[in-house]
Amino acid sequence: MTTQLTLTSLRRSLRREANPKRAECVAGYFKTGPGEYGEGDRFLGLTMPRLRRAARDGQHLSLADSSRLLASPWHEERMLALLILVRQFSRGDAGTRQHIFRLYLANRRHINNWDLVDVSAGFILGPFLVERSGASARVRRLARSRNVWDRRMAVLATSHEIREGRYAATLDVAEALLSDDHDLIHKAVGWMLREVGNRNFDAERQFLDRHAARMPRTMLRYAVERFPPVLRQRYMSVKVHREA
């Protein structure tokens, strides 16, 4: 039987299980040093399985409490808020889904590392946008943002459509981000292209045939990771031609 916890009790349970030694290691992994992409973030040292259990216990939090949790200085509390919102979104009616979508966009400044984006964008932004007209334009606006997390959201949001067997949005965003200069975007785009290829190999091949020469090597390497060795090497040997 799932225990329903309040915001206060959820926070207390997380703090009781904080692991400072693990927190120190995780902080390095998420690049929290000066000038790094996660600069200044703070960690409790909790595992994802523990946070997923907490999300089940906290799935009945009000949206106001979820918003407070999402504004936490602690990375795991922000992660927990997103896991709860994903659960609430998947089970919610149209009104609830719209409220969560708006809350998500309004609090993007708190969704400020790749793992936070990855557990949420494809399960909140993606489903909501495909239900609304003008979805492609909204994703493209995120893809043009100066904020790296907005751009990663644009990429990961399309994962929902990939799961539904539609690839146009992913390929559109991937093309828009070919000249992006951030490694985390290269990895995200390559990952989503690989997911397209897992379901429609020809669709990915056609994209790569047009764009491989313009793709950053990390992006291309992620995209062809599961190709047969000879074909993977053929693409990785393509002469690079980046537009000025």
Structure tokens at 174: 């991937």
Q: What's the rounded Cα separation, in Å, for the pair 98 and 88? A: 11
Instruction: Provide the pLDDT confidence category of residue 244 given band limits of 50, 70 and 90.
Output: very low
Q: Are 170 and 130 in contact (CB under 8 A)?
A: no
Structure tokens at 119: 């557990």
Q: Where are the domains of the chain?
A: 1-111, 158-244
The pLDDT of residue 1: 44
Smallest CA-to-CA distance from 175 within 207, 141, 129 is with 207
Q: Are 235 and 227 in contact (CB under 8 A)?
A: yes
Give this prediction's pTM. Answer: 0.93
pLDDT(131) > 80: no
CATH number for the region 1-111 comes to: 1.25.10.90
Q: Which residues are within 8 A (CB) of 88 and not within 5 positions of it... i.e. 6 or more apart?
A: 59, 63, 66, 96, 100
Radius of gyration of the chain (CA): 19
Structure tokens at 187: 């990895």
pLDDT(133) > 60: no
pLDDT tens digit sequence for 114-124:
999 999 999 99
Structure tokens at 236: 């990785």
